[in-house]
Structure 1
Amino acid sequence: MSDGANAAEPTIAERLTTREERIHVSIGAVCNNNCIFCMEEDRDGRYVNNSAMTTDRVRWILEQNQGSEEVCFTSGEPTTRPELPDLVSMAKGLGYRKISVMTNGRRLSHLPYAALLAKAGMNRFYVSIHGHTKKLHEGLTRTPDSFEQTVAGLASITKLKRFGVELHTSTVLTDRNLPHMLDIYRFLRQCGVDQVVFNVMQANGRADTYFEQIFPRYTEIADTFRRFLADVGEPRPMAFLVDIPLCTTEGVADFNRGYVERYRHFDLGDQANLVATRAPERAADGRGRGLVLVTRQDLDEAQRDKRQACGTCKYGPQCEGVWRNYLKRYGWDEFEPILGPPNAR
């Protein structure tokens, strides 16, 4: 993502190098959508893990990470947890400056609920929406009426922006919605969205199960995004392409090359996705609460790869690698190292 830019705009490599780490709190035991690309295919495991994030555990997590730039309530659908407003208030009381939620936005269609979250201290909303029409969005969420409710949720947050609330969206790119990138962007900006983020799928969970039906090649995504930037007719579109190897997006304006934030979160010990050798040391971080610290780097190392040629690429120090499940289908042919000194402008 991006937090804007100025005259001395940093490169994407510099932004990646200096990005803040935020804390994720996984609380959504269930989800009221049924997205075809959901990376959380183990619904039973998610239910067990996120149900265990009690108010006491969440308080402990927030206390351990005071000083983080942002806390984000995420995983499953966080708005299904009745305690969410209280947890937001708790985070505010502990001094968190940026308090956010990753949500499908459906419950936000009830303006009093959205206002309750904002009053408690939530000041950034990441709303998932995957098309500019009912047919396109609901073909991917596989949930009737989810489009109308999510759009109404965007309208609620837009009404609250005068209180300092930010509205970002996340659109997961598939073969179905990729050709409609320009229409999606224009629709969302008309809805009052501050930043439109196009997320490349993570090649795990259901995205792996339905890979052949929905997963476009990275180079196709990058080429479509380049055409979108040329056709949008704005000098500085607030659109960001996220979670794609940087070698495939060379030539795209650095301002529009987004990234996934560094983050840390806690899972139950038997639910954590960790390289086996790290599990014992990370269990100690839970201080006897049955929790294990997991970072974004842990997830990358468990499921992504780099090859020797990546070491010659100027983005090598920042690149997180390529999903192994993606490489199983497409291999390395579309990835060409961008030669030059590391972090070159």
Structure 2
Amino acid sequence: MQITKRYWIHVGNRCNLKCKFCYYQDSLHQENNKTTTEIKKELRFIKYFWRKNRVDFTGGEPTIRSDLPDLIKYARKIGFKQVGIITNGLLLSNENYFKKLIEAGLDDVLFSIESPSAEKHDALTCVKGSFSKLINGIENAKKLNLGFRINITITKQNYKDLPELARFLLKFKPKVVNIISFNPVEDAEFHSEDMMASFSEVAPYIKQTINILKDHTKQINVRYIPFCFMKGYEKYICNKYQQKYDTYEADLILREWLWVGPFLTVYHILKGIIRLSLKQLLTQSLYSSFYDGILKSYQKFHRKSQECKKCNCNNICLGLTQKYAEVYGVKELKALSGKITLNPLEFRKNIKYP
């Protein structure tokens, strides 16, 4: 399977919500948005130098930018075959604005919804009325015949709502649903104990959610939870090792290159690649080995237990984040039996992305 040809353009941290689980919660109102010229330069760089052909605009919130239609149109002009936005959906409640984005070339939207309850969704986003506007935006996507995806972030406050949210989403028929465990990185790390539920508690609700959705959506991805919590549902796990083949995920090497610079990127690759097995190096492309090298260097931010050494998924799983281990420990981790695998797609060999 081909490594993702997509990249996410981060337009800045500014947003019209203040979600309690946001990576950039403490910098949402900073004047750090990139200029139109800077973003167009970045688009050319990832298209012509890195040969990417799909792009998503993300933030913060991309729809609060007045130049978004122009940016979408420019991305199409220079040859991107798919142009999307990752959004809270508030401004897409305006059908005329939504049409304007589609006319510019928008053909994919990733909405975030946190609960079937307006009260709970609004509490998590810290803006009253955000739920109703989001639903209007999703309804507009359906009305305008635009395929869309859904992100659900799992927190202590909403994990028991997951099955009900799944049933609520059935009528909208999203093409992809991403079920994402709270990820304690960036600013979100400082809110971990308030937001992060234990995987042992969450896993049964995720499984119920999958059972409800699996025959009604083309793809379900479960992120940031180790395989051992999802026994019998391993094919839905799409963590860092699996994401490099997810056509909707951003290329990790390119993200490193643009966020920390080429020198640190090369350092991370070299630091990690020496930890790959000879079999891994001989059975995959050089670029794929570079990718895995970066992931190996990420292992220092994660924790495993002695059980992991016996697990058949040990080589395709990063384990727990350091912050999760600080809060809940590592005793929940249990080895999965079976043949040891080096293939990140061991359980996802037949995946076909819509």
Same fold? TM cut 0.5: yes
Q: Measure the CA separation in 1 of the matches of 2:304 and 2:133.
A: 41
Flag the 1:212–1:55 CA change in 2: closer, same or farther, 3 A: closer
1:173 to partner: Cα distance: 0.7
SS at match of 2:178: strand
Question: Which residue number corresponds to residue 203 of structure 1?
Answer: 184
1:273 to partner: Cα distance: 5.6
Question: Which residue number corresponds to residue 263 of structure 1?
Answer: 251
Structure with more helix by fraction? 2
Q: Measure the CA separation in 2 of the matches of 1:199 and 1:108.
A: 23
Question: Which residue number corresponds to residue 246 of structure 2?
Answer: none
Instruction: Determine which of 306, 320, 323 is the counterpart of 2:321.
Output: 323
Unaligned runs of 5+ in 2: 244-248, 269-290, 348-354
Flag the 1:235–1:102 CA change in 2: closer, same or farther, 3 A: closer
Q: 2:315 corresponds to which letter in structure 1? A: P
Corresponding position: 1:236 with 2:215? yes
Flag the 1:62–1:278 CA change in 2: closer, same or farther, 3 A: closer
Q: Measure the CA separation in 1 of the matches of 2:79 and 2:13.
A: 26
Instruction: Determine which of 301, 313, 316 is the counterpart of 2:311.
Output: 313
Q: Contact 2:7/2:55 (CA < 8 Å) preserved in 1?
A: yes
By relative contact order (CA 8 Å, sep 6+), the higher-ranking structure is 1
Residues 164-211 of structure 1, C-alpha deviations (whole Å, 9 max, x = no match): x31111111112211111211122222343333221111124543232
Q: Measure the CA separation in 1 of the matches of 2:238 and 2:319.
A: 15
Q: What is the percentage of aligned positions where both structures have the same residue?
A: 22
1:54 to partner: Cα distance: 2.3
Question: Which residue number corresponds to residue 73 of structure 2?
Answer: 89
SS at match of 1:169: strand
Corresponding residue pairs, total:
309
Residues 125-159 of structure 1, C-alpha deviations (whole Å, 9 max, x = no match): 00011111210100100111111111111111111
Instruction: Determine which of 115, 122, 131 is the counterpart of 1:147.
Output: 131
Deviating more after overlay: 124-133 vs 46-55: 46-55
Q: Measure the CA separation in 2 of the matches of 1:267 and 1:226.
A: 33
Question: Which residue number corresponds to residue 278 of structure 1?
Answer: 264
Instruction: Determine which of 20, 26, 33 is the counterpart of 2:4.
Output: 20
TM-score calculated relative to the size of structure 2:
0.75
Structure with more strand by fraction? 1
Corresponding position: 1:128 with 2:112? yes
Q: Measure the CA separation in 2 of the matches of 1:150 and 1:298.
A: 38
SS at match of 1:314: coil
Q: Contact 1:155/1:192 (CA < 8 Å) preserved in 2?
A: no
SS at match of 2:315: coil
Q: 2:251 corresponds to which letter in structure 1? A: Y
1:71 to partner: Cα distance: 1.0
Q: 1:211 corresponds to which letter in structure 2? A: S
Q: 1:179 corresponds to which letter in structure 2? A: K
SS at match of 2:222: strand
SS at match of 2:106: coil
Q: Contact 1:49/1:267 (CA < 8 Å) preserved in 2?
A: no
Question: Which residue number corresponds to residue 332 of structure 1?
Answer: 330
Q: CA RMSD in A?
A: 3.3
- Note the 1:66-85 alignment, pairs <5 A: 67-85=51-69
Q: Measure the CA separation in 2 of the matches of 1:49 and 1:320.
A: 32
